[in-house]
Structure 1
Amino acid sequence: MILTPHLDHDPAEARSPLYPVVDRPTSVGCRARRYPSDTTDAEWVLLEPLLPKPACETAAGGRPEKHPRRAIVDALRYVADNGSKWRALPSDFPPWKTVHGFFTRWSKAGVFEKIRDRLRDRIRVKAGRSPQPSAAVIDSQSVKAAETVGKPSRGYDGGKKIDGRKRHIATDTQGLLLVVLVTAANLQDRSAARLLLAALHAAHRNISWVWADGGYTSAALIDWAKTTLHMTLDIAKKIAGQTRFIILPRRWVVERTFSWITQARRNVRDYERLPQHSAAFINISMITIMTRRLTRH
């Protein structure tokens, strides 16, 4: 009997221009690139300097890390892209507990937000724009929650008839993520807007104009944003008499971002016990989108 090696991917697909495979040596500290979600060499050149220094290289000191950072990042991207359980992480990655530990620590330290912001700045500069945006678009998306999501952080969205969580995001005019906030689905957009706009103002002081859909219509909210945050909240309403789907200016930008985010299967449904972990996976999927855009030939 002749045994053939098991392939976890289609060679034709893996060698396509969309997912170029760069074979890496499988010596100590390295693993061969075999999944579409794995980082390419060009992507890793962008990501490696943005990761926090290992504890052994800081003044506080610590033990050297057993597993290479690139394998950890590849594992996180695998979970986000395929939506697999932590315990089902393939054996060629570091142990799932190790990967989950990095995910938890980096989420708490805001590492994913920092990487997202640095990459977004580079894309804006590459497009001939200022790295700091002056306008934003906000919207929300309700998604079903798995049984792992506890009652304190879930709710029922009567309008969408969804029991789960709601994602509130702000993007620039290119659709690149600026701020993400995850709440229970029963929180109204007008109520969550104060939290979202406050976080947006704290992170991006130059933003003075924000577009939103009709769900944010509130004279009190518009006045609060103007007087407290010095932001003009512009409600982009539907066209009078509209009965079918029409792409509306500005609103389609943030709706397209939701489409990008949910291409990662982990984000199709909310599985995270903590809302901040749900936001972390949204940031990871956006980071993957931006690194691929920056390294695209």
Structure 2
Amino acid sequence: MSVAGQSSSVTRGCDCLAHRFGNAADNGSRQPRYPTDVTDAEWAVLRPLLPVPGWMRGRGGRPEAYCHRAILDAIRYLVDNGIKWRAMPADFPPWDRVYAFFRRWRDHGLVTEFHDRLRGRLREREGRDTEPTAGVIDSQSVKADAVVGSDSRGFDGGKLINGRKRHLVVDTLGLLLGVMVTAADIGDRTAAKVLLGQVADAHHQLELVWADGGYTGSLVEHCLATLALVLSIVKRSDNQKGFVVLPKRWIVERTNAWLMRTRRLARDYECRTTSAEAMVYWSMTMVMTRRLARTRPQLA
């Protein structure tokens, strides 16, 4: 019997594709016990938005042997608690199977596809168009773990941080439109030139992006001439002292705060920058599914 606000059992009757068409029923079930487990309300939202596995689309591969809901529970647990892959609790599927799922979704862009579907659904729920017309860009430097090699880490002299830098573009709700992870010594304008190009290609209705003073210079002209994108610089007044909330820029700062609440993102532990970017997407999927589950209309 499920309790409101808590997840129900992942059972042999689960309606995930691995149970319905794969071999997941052969591996039994697990009883949910962690705050990060997908609730029934969340599952009702995200289940129709999950990408269809390649083995169901004639692309070969063995039908999956572990429940998709249990796999999602495992990845959410890892991202939120910051554990090592090999430290995955025993009640989840084997850690190497969970990592194989994570790697497949990372390499084939499935985590981005899933994330974007959730973002579109949440924007519709908030009364917005699916595609945004305005966004905000910023970067955040974080310390890197010892496993991060020298080829993808650097020293941010402004923040005095040895590690990596996350470059984010978000919409006016703070939802992620694009992320790029670089060494911390890469300049904001250098990374933004690439990231804004990717975001503009993916979101054709985007017309305006707000940024701080670190993005001034030739980038403004480049965005207008090449991307047909207005880069508006929100500057801090020279007369202002102490902490001041600046218009529009606070939106992306709030998104950075959301990400830092997941322990896997409090420091960069990923050997590859693509894995670091995937972790950001997984963290945002948790934010969005929880919000969608709370605002889901009640059925009569």
Contact 1:166 1:185 in 2 (8 A): yes
Letter of the structure 1 residue corresponding to residue 9 of structure 2: R
1:25 Cα offset (Å):
5.9
- Per the alignment, residue 285 of structure 2 pairs with 287
Cα distance in 2 for partners of 1:200, 1:52 equals 21
1:68, 1:26 → 2: CA distance? Answer: 9
Establish whether residue 159 from structure 1 lines up as the match of residue 144 from structure 2: no
| Paired residues of 2:10 and 2:69 also in contact (CA < 8 A) | no
TM-score by length of 2: 0.89
Residue 112 of structure 2 aligns to a residue whose secondary structure is helix
State the SS of the aligned residue for 2:275: helix
Is the 8 Å Cα contact of residues 155 and 164 (structure 1) preserved in structure 2?
Answer: yes
1:266 and 2:251 are equivalent in the alignment: no
| CA 206–56 in structure 1, closer or farther in 2 if over 3 Å, else same | closer
Mapping 1:87-126, distance limit 5 Å = 87-126=86-125
Matches of 1:62 and 1:194, distance apart in 2: 38
1:6 corresponding residue in structure 2: none
Q: Corresponding residue for 2:231?
A: 233
**Contact 1:25–1:32, Cα closer than 8 Å, also in 2:** yes
Distance 1:227 1:55 in 2: 39
Selected match of 1:243 from 241, 244, 267: 241
Quote the Cα distance in structure 1 between the aligned partners of 2:44 and 2:72.
Answer: 13
Q: 1:221: which partner in 2?
A: 219
C-alpha contact 1:55 1:63 (8 A) present in aligned 2: no
The alpha-carbon deviation at position 129 of structure 1 amounts to: 1.1
Amino acid at match of 2:250: W
Name 2:149's counterpart in structure 1: 150
**Aligned partner letter, 2:81:** N
Unaligned stretches of 5+ residues in structure 2: 13-26, 296-300
Q: Secondary structure of 2:177's partner?
A: strand
Q: Which amino acid in the other structure matches residue 232 of structure 1?
A: V
The residue type equivalent to 1:65 in the other structure is E
Letter in 2 for 1:34: R
2:7 corresponding residue in structure 1: 22
Q: 1:224 to 1:273 in 2, by over 3 A?
A: same
Aligned to 1:12: none
* Residue 234 of structure 1, CA deviation: 0.5
Q: 1:151 to 1:176 in 2, by over 3 A?
A: same
SS at match of 2:288: helix
The SS at the match of 1:296 is helix
- Paired residue type of 1:245: F
1:89/1:240 Cα in 2 relative to 1: closer, same or farther (>3 Å)? Answer: same
Cα pair 2:7 2:38 within 8 Å, conserved:
no
Q: Which residue matches 1:179?
A: 178
Letter in 2 for 1:135: A
Question: How many angstroms does 1:22 deviate by?
Answer: 2.8
The structure 2 residue matched to 1:254, chosen from 252, 262, 287, is 252
Which residue number in structure 2 is paired with residue 48 of structure 1? 47
Is this contact kept in 2: 1:144–1:270, CA < 8 A? Answer: yes
Contact 1:55 1:64 in 2 (8 A): no
How far apart are the structure 2 equivalents of 1:249 and 1:207? 19
Query: What do residues 2-43 of structure 1 show as CA deviations (whole Å, max 9, x unaligned)?
Result: xxxxxxxxxxxxx7x7xx223316665421111111101121
**Percent identity over paired residues:** 51
Indicate the RMSD between aligned Cα atoms, in angstroms: 1.5
- Structure 1 residues 25, 242: CA separation in 2 closer, same or farther (over 3 Å shift)? closer
Q: Is this contact kept in 2: 1:29–1:68, CA < 8 A?
A: no
Work out the CA distance in 2 between the residues paired with 1:290 and 1:217: 32
Q: Is the 8 A contact 2:141 2:166 kept in 1?
A: yes
Residue 71 of structure 2 is matched in structure 1 by 72
Deviations 1:41-77 (A, max 9, x none): 1212222233333344232444332211111111000
Cα separation, partners in 2 of 1:115 and 1:272, compared to 1, 3 Å: same
| Greater than 6 Å deviation, 4+ residue runs | none
Q: TM-score, normalised by structure 1?
A: 0.90
- 1:133 is aligned to 132
